[in-house]
């Protein structure tokens, strides 16, 4: 399993190339997102670039949410099955993010 580049990541618009570039904290370009849209509009490219740039932080928040759910589970006995399902889903997603399971 390989690790991904640690965050934070940042999406920056590059007017000349008409694309968003995703940079790490050392300004190393990790990827590019081109937009398809009308002139002067960035289409879905901006939203996609922001989503990609937020990936490291989303992974960290997902792990925190899982820990909170595990901690609170004893107090939510009525919703235990639902909470366990959410925790299982989070674990599956984290395994995919970490390269331990193939995407569905």
**DSSP E strand boundaries for the chain:** 10-14, 19-23, 29-34
Q: Within a 10 A sphere around the Cβ of 50, how many other Cβ atoms?
A: 14
- pLDDT value of position 96: 77
Q: Running DSSP on this structure, what letter comes out for residue 79?
A: G
- pLDDT value of position 32: 93
The share of the chain scoring above pLDDT 90, in percent, equals: 12
pLDDT in tens, 65-101: 888 888 887 777 777 788 888 888 888 888 877 777 6
pLDDT exceeds cutoff 90 at 3: no
């Amino acid at each position: 399993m390989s690790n991904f580049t640690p965050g934070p990541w940042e999406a920056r618009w590059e007017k000349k190339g008409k694309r968003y570039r995703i940079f790490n904290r050392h300004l190393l370009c990790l990827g590019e997102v081109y937009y398809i849209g009308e002139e002067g509009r960035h289409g879905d490219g901006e939203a996609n670039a922001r989503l990609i740039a937020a990936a490291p932080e989303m992974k960290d928040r997902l792990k925190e949410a899982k820990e909170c759910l595990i901690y609170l589970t004893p107090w939510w006995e009525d919703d235990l099955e639902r909470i366990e399902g959410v925790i299982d889903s989070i674990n599956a997603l984290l395994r995919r993010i970490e390269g331990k399971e193939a995407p569905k």
